[in-house]
Chains A and B, each alone.
Chain A
């Protein structure tokens, strides 16, 4: 074997080791959570890479808690409503920003970018007052309202970049046929925008599903909690010994749908994330 061949082989080996290392680091914490969640509580504190006994006890414990089921239901309701509102307001706004030239357009874009950079805690006290005034405290409605602060700017921003890429001829043809802007959006652009809307909707869903600060602050009772807050506040009888088994089971339950979504839609997610930043 010549030294050149040897070098080539060593490089290949090094590359594959690096790939393996990256995959292990990325996946291992989730894997470890999964196997912990299937351990009986007697084995919980034995460190092992493959459980010697399997048990569903942690899942049974999590799903017999009414508040956890309620939290999943709340999270689904909130995230779905947030996606719907963000897409509805986002598609019309992105038409205006992406297809029409008008005075003040750059200012509006700058405002949207500014809002997406907002520290959430900066609006906490003001938003608390708004939510209480609208009688939405400790209510999913309050969270749906407050989540538009981060989903809407993002949705508008990404949809605008997609909207700009559509060919001008389509719209000109519609205008020549006497279509109003509303008809143009619903009949011409909407069918073409479905992929982009699916992408942004998915990202908005994940963002709303994962949100913590508002959910922690604007809800009070267990029945109104969302999943992240329910998991963060899971604690056992004593303050010193956390119920790690049920915590891991609950974590796996709320993460598995997201992981499946990511694996199915990875191409879309990648294009949505990069459209929001690179092309912005």
Chain B
């Protein structure tokens, strides 16, 4: 409480306590809900209600051309045993391939982004001439639309005329051009490379913000004691920035689990790189099977929800939702 209130009329009537328990407080709480209402209505319209409808559609035989006249089919879209054969999303090997692809993509690309992000953050944290310029340069991949960066890389990775094949061949690393985006054994790596290029800046910025909040004195102490900088990094810096890195990791992981556009542009609907989002959208839009596609979307939602809940549970002490205003 500040001095402003001490001299206020509310203080003259101590039996009513601080202004928080008075008419002003009630007015403020009412205003708060009034102000929240438009946002809550908007979120219900674009997020809550559509999500419920997706759950509902996943138990029906809805098609894209006819969403109103649908029959309830129970769990048939998920899993059904019919005539000695299993059907449904959970029995589809392509779905499981998509789950595996998404998990592989998420783990590998986020790990690489964290490693490179820390390196870039350490560079940007050093004092040197032209730091602002380097920071702007590093931000460029982040600002470029994913679609555009996918096209730019598709051009550089072009099998016949791409610069990457030319460089690798000139250096004698490969003997013949590689079809990066078409060859199943390379296409996932092409996708990961583009994603790492595009999102490392985000991780680097979060790591940099954490680095800049570190206390200076332990570094001075380490320098006086003559401890090697690498040891200082692993024993002091890394443990101190881990909480901030965990936030970056969870943001990136949740983003990577729903990956769509980079894969769609680079490799289209090829099975070797298909993610869960691509699978669900293909069923929904291209095959017009809203029921089946909704079942896949629901499963993706559950996977991401479980990941989020697990994170919130494990890190609930860390994530402060702000008890104080």
Contact = CB atoms under 8 A, between A and B. Distances in A.
Interface of A: 15, 18-19, 22-23, 25-27, 29-30, 32-33, 36, 44-45, 47, 85, 89-90, 92-93, 95-102, 106, 108-112, 114-115, 117-130, 132, 145-146, 148-149, 152-153, 156, 160, 164, 168-169, 172-173, 175-176, 180-182, 185, 206, 209-210, 212-213, 216-217, 227-229, 231-232, 244, 247-248, 251, 254-255, 258-259, 261-263, 266, 269-270, 273-274, 277-278, 280
B184 interface: no
B238 interface: no
Contacts of A90: 39
B49 A130 contact: yes
Interface stretch (B82-90, B107-115, B217-225, B247-255): B247-255
B97 interface: no
B174 interface: no
B45 interface: yes
B114 to A, nearest CB: 14
A96 B112 CA distance: 39
Contacts of A97: 32, 36
B31 A89 contact: no
B244 A278 contact: yes
Contact of B139 (A102, A110, A148, A262): A262
A212 B264 contact: yes
A25 to B, nearest CB: 7
27 contacts: A22-B134, A29-B152, A29-B156, A44-B161, A47-B161, A100-B29, A100-B32, A117-B308, A119-B277, A121-B260, A121-B284, A121-B300, A123-B51, A124-B281, A124-B284, A126-B53, A148-B46, A152-B43, A185-B35, A210-B145, A213-B277, A228-B146, A232-B261, A232-B264, A248-B151, A262-B143, A266-B135
A173 B27 CA distance: 16
A212 B261 contact: yes
5 tightest CB-CB pairs across the interface, nearest first? A126-B50, A126-B53, A181-B31, A96-B32, A119-B258
A122 B8 CA distance: 52
B207 to A, nearest CB: 10
Contacts of A168: 2
Contacts of A117: 254, 304, 308
A18 B46 contact: no
A276 to B, nearest CB: 9
Contacts of A212: 145-147, 260-261, 264
A210 B265 CA distance: 13
Interface string B257-274: 110110011000000000
A110 B311 CA distance: 13
Contacts of B149: 29
B136 to A, nearest CB: 5
Contacts of B35: 92-93, 95-96, 181, 185
B325 A255 contact: no
B234 interface: no
Nearest to A261: B143
Given A124-B280, A175-B19, A273-B205, A32 B156 contact: yes
A22 B297 contact: no
Contact of A280 (B2, B49, B247, B297): B247
Nearest to B261: A212
Interface in B1-53: 2, 4-5, 8, 19-20, 24, 27-29, 31-33, 35-36, 38-40, 42-43, 45-47, 49-53
B297 A19 contact: no
A110 B143 CA distance: 28
A149 B50 CA distance: 11
Interface string B126-167: 101000101111111111111111011101101011110010
A34 to B, nearest CB: 10
B146 A26 contact: no
B2 to A, nearest CB: 5
B240 interface: no
B104 interface: no
A122 B51 contact: yes
B39 A156 contact: yes
Given A121-B258, A122-B298, A258-B145, A169 B247 contact: no
A210 B146 CA distance: 7
